[in-house]
Chains A and B, each alone.
Chain A
Amino acid sequence: MSLSLSLNINGQMRAVDIDDPRITLLDLLRERLELTGAKKGCDRGQCGACTVLVDGKRINACLALAVTLDGAEITTIEGLAGEDGLHPVQAAFIHHDGFQCGFCTPGQIMSAVGLLAEGHAGDDPERVREQMSGNLCRCGAYRGITEAVLDAHRTLNATAREDAA
């Protein structure tokens, strides 16, 4: 069985043929498309290391079968930084030391980008913590992660205000 998918990955349309319906989005990205930024920490939706955006929403790529995603728009950590440099969330993670080993970091960052787009946490640290709880960090960088998300929230708000002005 061969299935043809059309995927928009990080802004680029790609025709992807897959020969196996078992392939998850995560394994497609990592093993077949050379996009290894998203990480496999548990492969069961329990750790969040594989978080990517699908049609603008954060999901666990390990539990999404690639065949179901024909036509989807996928953003991975590799597609986040723009030509003008790091995304504010990425910069904030560095500034606040929101990681140690870095393995969960692509997932944390994509999750944070998704969280900020959802707009339900605002500037409330407790809401940020709760809504970032789908991303485990064994090194224990949670304090920096929370600070980074709040900082990026402020940066993005300020940018939005400037754009509006």
Chain B
Amino acid sequence: MNRFDYIRPASVAEAVAAATQPGSAYLAGGTNLVDLMKGGALRPDCLVDISRLPGLDRIEWLADGGLRIGALVRNADLAHDALVQARFPAVSEALLSGASAQLRNVATLGGNLLQQTRCPYFYDTASACNRRAPGSGCDALQGENRSHAVLGWSDHCIATHPSDLCVPLVALDAVIEVQGPQGSRGIPLETLHPLPGDTPHLETMLSPGELITAVRIPAEAIAVAGHARYLKVRERTSFAFALVSAAAGLELDGGVIRKARLALGGVAARPWRARVAEAALEGGPATAEAFARAAEAALADARPSGDNAFKIELARRILIRALQEALAGTPEQRPALPASPFAPPSGARHVA
């Protein structure tokens, strides 16, 4: 790890001013940044420690019924908040399916949104990686890529975004609040991570110095609380990143789907909102056939980026399963193995 300056600003404005300097990086929980620095993938000159900035660690319910989560709220605190669990159960489940209890105690909301891909070629500084070193090439393209993207990738980058949390968040229309040198603004989470195109190093829509201060989930999203799941295919029963994952939320009117909220994880450089699939479902019956059609639609544009054609079929199937589970109703008690197909919820369903 390179030597760096360490500063701990007292206010958001001070933090933004410091982080606008080239070579600066925000440090919050550090679970991703410190890891990347140890591997040499990132070598910032200055760490701006925002972990103690006042006011960013609150979970607030807004007058309109929406939720505002401070960017420094720890994953574990958010996951175990009783109201969050009741109203946004897929958010809670996704959080608890990610990483380990130790990491969840430290990792923050903002950091989760900004975490780096787990593409090994990004981590391995001896490899070419356009995301890490613009113009160097992409060694993943012809390399070990069975876990790489099947949607939205380019010949410049086939990495995926690894977050579990972001998957339900995009499905729920979350908006991030940002403070920057030019003031504050809101950005739909869905657009925070641009697809790689020929500029994979432009990892987010944030300008230099811009700081995520909060995430808002609109009140309308609560309507799917009774029928919401996050499910994840991984290669260990716990403590593993998703090979693919899906968040599904349904608003039902009798047997008819009034509103569907769907997103996929592990398939693209961004948490992937499956809007076409939502449209295919809305206004129709919640049947197996409809779910299958929706899954087809969601992956219609998918193509393998390497040795990963199986992920396309796997993504269809996890989406169908998430829809089935959502239709069955959000489990009243959180499953022992969050987001795991091996923990089919037994017992009472929470039917809103």
Q: Do A and B form a real pair?
A: yes
Interface string of B18-31 (1 = CB under 8 A from A): 00000000010011
Interface pair A133/B237, CB less than 8 Å apart: yes
Interface string of A56-94 (1 = CB under 8 A from B): 011110011101100000000000000000000000000
Interface pair B49/A48, CB less than 8 Å apart: no
Interface pair A57/B34, CB less than 8 Å apart: no
Q: Which of A45, A68, A132 contacts B49 (CB 8 A)?
A: A68
- Tell whether B239 is near chain A: CB-to-CB under 8 Å: yes
Tell me the complex Cα distance, A67–B1, Å.
Answer: 15
Given the known interface contacts A68-B49, A133-B100, the answer about A20 and B30 at a Cβ–Cβ threshold of 8 Å is: no
Interface pair A63/B337, CB less than 8 Å apart: no
| Chain B: interface size category | 20 to 34
- Tell whether A111 is near chain B: CB-to-CB under 8 Å: yes
Q: Tell me how far the C-beta of A67 lies from the nearest C-beta in chain B, rounded to whole angstroms.
A: 5
Q: Tell me how far the C-beta of A79 lies from the nearest C-beta in chain B, rounded to whole angstroms.
A: 18
- Tell whether A17 is near chain B: CB-to-CB under 8 Å: no
Tell me the complex Cα distance, A44–B1, Å.
Answer: 13
Interface string of A1-24 (1 = CB under 8 A from B): 101000000000000000011101
Stretch at the interface among A28-36, A98-106, A119-127, A153-161: A119-127
Q: Tell me how far the C-beta of B243 lies from the nearest C-beta in chain A, rounded to whole angstroms.
A: 17
List A contacts of B30 (CB < 8 A). Answer: 63-65, 68
List A contacts of B51 (CB < 8 A). Answer: 68
Pick the most buried of A45, A58, A111, A124: most chain B CB atoms within 10 A of its CB.
Answer: A45
Interface pair A126/B336, CB less than 8 Å apart: yes
Interface string of B51-80 (1 = CB under 8 A from A): 100000000000000000000000010001
Interface string of A40-63 (1 = CB under 8 A from B): 000111001001000001111001
Interface string of A112-132 (1 = CB under 8 A from B): 001100101000101101111
Tell me the complex Cα distance, A57–B75, Å.
Answer: 13
Given the known interface contacts A130-B337, A133-B238, the answer about A68 and B102 at a Cβ–Cβ threshold of 8 Å is: no
Given the known interface contacts A45-B35, A68-B30, the answer about A22 and B4 at a Cβ–Cβ threshold of 8 Å is: yes
Q: Tell me how far the C-beta of B50 lies from the nearest C-beta in chain A, rounded to whole angstroms.
A: 10
Interface pair A67/B106, CB less than 8 Å apart: no
Interface string of B332-352 (1 = CB under 8 A from A): 000011100001000000000
Q: Which of B6, B31, B39, B239 contacts A67 (CB 8 A)?
A: B6
Interface pair A59/B35, CB less than 8 Å apart: no
- Tell whether B103 is near chain A: CB-to-CB under 8 Å: yes
List A contacts of B8 (CB < 8 A). Answer: 68
- Tell whether B47 is near chain A: CB-to-CB under 8 Å: yes
- Number of A interface residues in the complex (CB < 8 A): 35
- Tell whether A134 is near chain B: CB-to-CB under 8 Å: yes
Interface pair B3/A45, CB less than 8 Å apart: no
Pick the most buried of B6, B8, B343: most chain A CB atoms within 10 A of its CB.
Answer: B6
- Tell whether B99 is near chain A: CB-to-CB under 8 Å: yes
Q: Tell me how far the C-beta of B44 lies from the nearest C-beta in chain A, rounded to whole angstroms.
A: 11
Given the known interface contacts A64-B106, A68-B30, A133-B238, the answer about A44 and B35 at a Cβ–Cβ threshold of 8 Å is: yes
User: Chain B residue with minimal CB distance to A114?
Assistant: B101
- Tell whether B105 is near chain A: CB-to-CB under 8 Å: yes
Given the known interface contacts A58-B101, A63-B31, A115-B101, the answer about A133 and B239 at a Cβ–Cβ threshold of 8 Å is: yes
Tell me the complex Cα distance, A115–B346, Å.
Answer: 24
User: Chain B residue with minimal CB distance to A131?
Assistant: B101
Given the known interface contacts A44-B35, A126-B336, the answer about A58 and B105 at a Cβ–Cβ threshold of 8 Å is: yes
List B contacts of A129 (CB < 8 A). Answer: 238
List B contacts of A63 (CB < 8 A). Answer: 30-31, 34-35, 103, 106
Interface pair B101/A111, CB less than 8 Å apart: yes
- Tell whether B185 is near chain A: CB-to-CB under 8 Å: no
Q: Tell me how far the C-beta of B140 lies from the nearest C-beta in chain A, rounded to whole angstroms.
A: 20
Interface residues of B in 64-119 (CB under 8 A from A): 76, 80, 99-103, 105-106
Q: Which of A21, A24, A114 contacts B47 (CB 8 A)?
A: A21
List A contacts of B103 (CB < 8 A). Answer: 45, 60, 63, 134
Q: Tell me how far the C-beta of B73 lies from the nearest C-beta in chain A, rounded to whole angstroms.
A: 14
List B contacts of A21 (CB < 8 A). Answer: 3-6, 47
Q: Could you write out 10 A-B pairs with CB less than 8 Å apart?
A: A24-B34, A44-B35, A45-B103, A48-B100, A48-B102, A57-B105, A111-B101, A114-B102, A118-B76, A134-B239
Q: Chain A: residues with CB nearer than 8 A to chain B? A: 1, 3, 20-22, 24, 43-45, 48, 51, 57-60, 63-65, 67-68, 111, 114-115, 118, 120, 124, 126-127, 129-135
Q: Chain B: residues with CB nearer than 8 A to chain A? A: 1, 3-6, 8, 27, 30-31, 34-35, 38-39, 47, 49, 51, 76, 80, 99-103, 105-106, 236-239, 336-338, 343
Other 11 A-B pairs with CB < 8 A, given A22-B1, A68-B51: A21-B47, A22-B3, A44-B38, A48-B102, A57-B76, A60-B103, A60-B106, A65-B27, A65-B47, A68-B49, A133-B238
